[in-house]
Amino acid sequence: MWIAQRREGGFGLITPHGGLLVNQLMTEAEKNRLQAERLPTVTLDAWAYADIQCIGIGAFSPLTGFMNEADYESVVSNMKLADGTIWSLPITLAVSEEEAARVRLGERIALCCAEGVARAVMRVESVYRPNKRIEAQQVYKTTEIAHPGVQKLYERGAFYLGGPISIVEEPRGGPFNADYYTPRQARAFFHKQGWKTIVGFQTRNPIHRAHEYIQKTALEMVDGLFLHPLVGETKADDVPAQVRMDSYKTLLKHYYPQERVLMGVFPAAMRYAGPREAVFHALVRKNYGCSHFIVGRDHAGVGDYYGTYEAQEIFNQFNAEQLGISLLFFENSFYCNRCSGMASYKTCPHSSSEHVVLSGTKVRKMLREGIKPPAEFSRPEVADILIDALRSRDS
């Protein structure tokens, strides 16, 4: 366990990253001004649309907008903003060469969704052309287009615009409104519950028994668990967000203490950046008020691009003061027949022949055939939801 000692901030909770929880929501005066102006427009892709929501509510604190060239180059090169603050992923607004040519430094532009509605305003501080091969190699550790994050990087516009933004309306979570919390709302909930220590858990997959095991192990150490599934854009073969949410709710209802768990959606897009994204996920949960964050096996990984525990090892580059959040590192977990319970390689002395371990490929095949994985691997209620979803999709 990697431990940070800072416990300051709103409601007596941990200090937001950079010291201040950002709020980039427009005032009424700014909204009125926007209606009277005819600003140049840029259309947001799914990544950027998710990013403006996260920037606006302070989830990406201390960022107040999309990265200018100095911050971008520093983050790509050494995982720090230009002022030295730790930050591991570029948060960029990509545009085409034609769009970039129409933009002038210092001007205000409207950032619009695909339907043409202005969702934010940006003051342009920087227009630059990144070296995407360097970005891919540094951030994703590969330049292969087979990597979904690299593919998305290459597909986006060739130029980046940087500068502070203001969002028109506070996001409400769309279809996940009932489970949507801004960092301020999450912190207020934790305060109301009397929680001082909260462990955050990032997921983009259904939760199986190994996830449940490490969450509950962590819950033994803290006041509450913040289950924070990502519901932004993911790759096509990932389980859809609504299906995952249904599975989470069923699992929480039957197997978790209701008074010690909060589930809230995380609107960001998935980058699949492995180690760097693990750092990013920890910093974001710090902004939501989490004092602790779980980093398991191959966190935010895809394929075989990253080592099994590389997402844990990357944190050795930082000290406790730089990150300001306590990290809980877990080994690969499984059900052991000889132990008659969940375990990991740290706690189980038995051979792998006694372990109930299934590959993702095998699990997907079983579910498509209507076969439930063993109860030692996945709760039957969760398996039922996934089987029904696959049948509906394939019918």
Asked if the peptide bond before residue 373 counts as cis, ω within 30 degrees of 0, the response is: no
Structure tokens at 258: 């209701």
Shortest CA distance to 225 belongs to which of 297, 312, 285, 280? 285
Q: How far apart are CA 321 and CA 380, in angstroms?
A: 43
Angle between helix axes 380-394 and 360-368 (nearest 10 degrees) is 70
- The answer to whether the beta carbons of residues 50 and 175 sit under 8 Å apart is no
Question: Which one is catalytic: 119, 156, 187, 204?
Answer: 204
CA dihedral (359, 364, 369, 370) positive or negative: positive
Q: How far apart are CA 74 and CA 220, in angstroms?
A: 38
Q: How far apart are CA 226 and CA 263, in angstroms?
A: 6
Q: Is 204 noted as a catalytic residue in this protein?
A: yes
Structure tokens at 140: 């994703």
CA dihedral (178, 181, 182, 186) positive or negative: positive
Question: Which one is catalytic: 6, 7, 23, 205?
Answer: 205
**Spacing of C-alpha 167 from chain mean position:** 20
Strand partners, 170: none
- The answer to whether the beta carbons of residues 239 and 205 sit under 8 Å apart is yes
In the block, tokens 């949507």 appear at 180
Q: Is 319 noted as a catalytic residue in this protein?
A: no
Strands 108-112 and 41-43, how do they pair? parallel
The catalytic site residues sit at 204-205
